[in-house]
Structure 1
Amino acid sequence: MKTNRFLMLLKTRGALTAGEISKELGITSEGARLQLIKLSEEGLIKSTNESKGVGRPTVYFSLTEEGNAGFPDTHAELTVKLIQLVKTTLGDEALDKVIAAGELAGKERYSNELQSITDLEGRISQLADIRTREGYMAEYSKDEQGYLLVENHCPICAAAQVCQGFCTSELNTFKLVLGEDIDITRVNHIIAGDRRCAYRITLKKAS
């Protein structure tokens, strides 16, 4: 369980120091250090040094590719094969139709769950809950700019890498279910090499 807690923390928070990890998990620095050594030896995490002015560089720990692979990518191999099969036998237009049908179904499902919620923050919170149930490890925060919806994991990453229509569909769905009075922009993208997908959500300015 301790190993799972370490990996989950690095997955959701990104690179952290040993001190930050021990504080977050409520364990001793020595306990954190021993677990970090073990995870490093197993190839699940890596360390990088970052210099910040004078003094010794700060050591940050983050997940390796193998560490990230421990989080599920829903039926990845089969999904990719099916996508490639549709493209080669039926063409790109057929694949677009499949994605559009999935998008429509998602919009209907999400809209039904959010229909009784009228305030924006409530809708964002419920959307994060839905996405978490679907394996995206979603959360949101509020700041002076508005809201940030974060997905710390993508359970369809393999499919999205071979067909980014899934990512476009996701953004279209968010725009519909959160309402016409908001602007939403993707600011981080796992496919682009970021550790997470994140969306900046703001209220549209009155014209």
Structure 2
Amino acid sequence: MKKDTLTTREEIMMMLKTNGSMTVSEISKGLGITEMAVRRHLNTLERDELIKASIVRQAMGRPTNLYSLTDKAENHFPKAYKNLADDILAGIFEEEGKEKIDKIFERREKKLREAYAKKMHGLTDLEEKVNALVNIQNERGYIVELEKVDNGFLLKEYNCPIFEISRQYNQACDGEKKLFENILNTEVKNLSCMGRGDTYCVYHIKNKK
């Protein structure tokens, strides 16, 4: 395997790691290569069970594929990627400050919100949406447990795929809370957080008033 080809595939995995899920067009624009070239790399990654595709129906036009990492990819993600992400964020912080870091995580939350909304399209009942959220988070490697309580739900995450980053940049944790509130359209309270030193993350999702 040629080094430049391997690097492109690693870049695709890194993009999916940080954005959650993306279309061929989005990956093509992000890498600056043709969609045909992107599809070749995606075919190889899908063959190796490192990514998966889900069909998203659009209001107009043909359905499109949304690509995301598999559990296998999350579990075997090379440590070098974490170091690279840490180095990139540290460099941005040193050069451009906290405001730029905030914008990066705000953009990430927006991208995830759009991807999650597509997967939860048509759901209106809060419990249905929460169960869909649990499935999405489990697919992304968070190891989620859901408990129904009198005034809502307790969502527990026993694993964090971006744990090392969240320890240094709590914007990642704040962004997840904001993501949950936006896609569920209800109040969410963060009761514990791995990024802030707790054993696992717990969110209290409150019933709509």
Normalized against structure 2, the TM-score is what?
0.59
Confirm whether residue 198 of structure 1 aligns to residue 202 of structure 2.
yes
Provide the C-alpha distance between the structure 1 equivalents of 2:194 and 2:120, rounded to a whole number of angstroms: 26
Aligned residue for 2:98? 92
Instruction: Note if contact 1:153-1:196 (Cα within 8 Å) is conserved in structure 2.
Output: yes
Deviates more, 1:113-122 or 1:138-147: 138-147
Instruction: Note if contact 2:151-2:207 (Cα within 8 Å) is conserved in structure 1.
Output: no
Aligned residue for 1:143? 149
Q: 1:82 aligns with which of 77, 88, 93?
A: 88
User: How many residues are aligned here?
Assistant: 133
What is the CA distance between 1:202 and its match in structure 2?
A: 1.5
What is the CA distance between 1:111 and its match in structure 2?
A: 1.0
Partner SS, residue 205 of structure 2: strand
What is the CA distance between 1:119 and its match in structure 2?
A: 1.0
Aligned residue for 2:128? 122
Q: 1:77 to 1:171 in 2, by over 3 A?
A: same
Aligned residue for 1:40? none
Aligned residue for 2:159? 153
Aligned residue for 1:166? 172
Write out aligned runs for 1:20-59 (5 A): none
Aligned residue for 1:60? none
In structure 2, runs of 5+ residues without a counterpart are 1-74
Aligned residue for 1:188? 192
Q: 1:192 to 1:100 in 2, by over 3 A?
A: closer
What is the CA distance between 1:142 and its match in structure 2?
A: 0.8
Matched residue type, 1:107: R
Provide the C-alpha distance between the structure 1 equivalents of 2:106 and 2:152, rounded to a whole number of angstroms: 29
Aligned residue for 2:116? 110
Partner SS, residue 76 of structure 1: helix
Deviates more, 1:158-167 or 1:132-141: 132-141
Provide the C-alpha distance between the structure 1 equivalents of 2:200 and 2:76, rounded to a whole number of angstroms: 15
Provide the C-alpha distance between the structure 2 equivalents of 1:100 and 1:192, rounded to a whole number of angstroms: 19
Partner SS, residue 187 of structure 2: strand
Instruction: Note if contact 1:150-1:198 (Cα within 8 Å) is conserved in structure 2.
Output: yes
Instruction: Note if contact 1:128-1:138 (Cα within 8 Å) is conserved in structure 2.
Output: yes
What is the CA distance between 1:91 and its match in structure 2?
A: 2.3
In structure 1, runs of 5+ residues without a counterpart are 1-70
Provide the C-alpha distance between the structure 2 equivalents of 1:151 and 1:130, rounded to a whole number of angstroms: 12
Aligned residue for 1:54? none
What is the CA distance between 1:124 and its match in structure 2?
A: 0.6
- Higher Rg: 1
Aligned residue for 2:139? 133
Provide the C-alpha distance between the structure 2 equivalents of 1:89 and 1:203, rounded to a whole number of angstroms: 43
Instruction: Note if contact 1:139-1:150 (Cα within 8 Å) is conserved in structure 2.
Output: yes
Provide the C-alpha distance between the structure 2 equivalents of 1:128 and 1:121, rounded to a whole number of angstroms: 11
Provide the C-alpha distance between the structure 2 equivalents of 1:199 and 1:183, rounded to a whole number of angstroms: 10
Provide the C-alpha distance between the structure 2 equivalents of 1:153 and 1:168, rounded to a whole number of angstroms: 16
Provide the C-alpha distance between the structure 2 equivalents of 1:72 and 1:78, rounded to a whole number of angstroms: 16
Deviations 1:9-53 (A, max 9, x none): xxxxxxxxxxxxxxxxxxxxxxxxxxxxxxxxxxxxxxxxxxxxx
Partner SS, residue 199 of structure 2: coil
